[in-house]
């Protein structure tokens, strides 16, 4: 049975010039968790131009990062 993973971070952007810095930092933090678990990739979800979630996901192959846009 697949392991249930509930690791995620939320990024709220108040300064658009820092968007990639904030997303990169959050992804790097979750990448460390993903490598320790060894069974999930990272899914970055854009909810709107100022709100993103970065989460470990069994739907994403281990070692990969994928994006989805909800807005």
Q: What does the domain layout of the chain look like in residue ranges?
A: 8-66
- What pLDDT sits at residue 7? 87
Structure tokens belonging to residue 30: 């979750």
Structure tokens belonging to residue 50: 């100022």
Q: Residue 45: which of 17, 19, 68, 11 has the closest Cα?
A: 68
- What pLDDT sits at residue 50? 96
Read off the pLDDT of residues 19-71 as tens digits, 9 standing for 90 and up. Answer: 999 999 999 999 999 998 888 899 999 999 999 999 999 999 999 999 999 97
Q: What DSSP designation does 71 have? A: -
The bridge status of strand 65-69 relative to strand 51-57 is unpaired
Strands (E), the chain: 8-12, 41-48, 51-57, 65-69
- What pLDDT sits at residue 6? 66
- What pLDDT sits at residue 39? 83
């Amino acid at each position: 049975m697949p392991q249930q993973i509930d690791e995620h971070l939320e990024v709220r952007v108040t300064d658009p010039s820092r968007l990639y810095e904030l997303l990169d930092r959050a992804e790097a933090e979750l990448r460390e968790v993903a490598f320790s678990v060894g069974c999930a990739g990272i899914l970055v979800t854009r909810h709107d131009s100022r709100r993103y979630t970065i989460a470990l996901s069994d739907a994403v192959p281990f070692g990969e990062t994928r994006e989805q846009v909800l807005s």
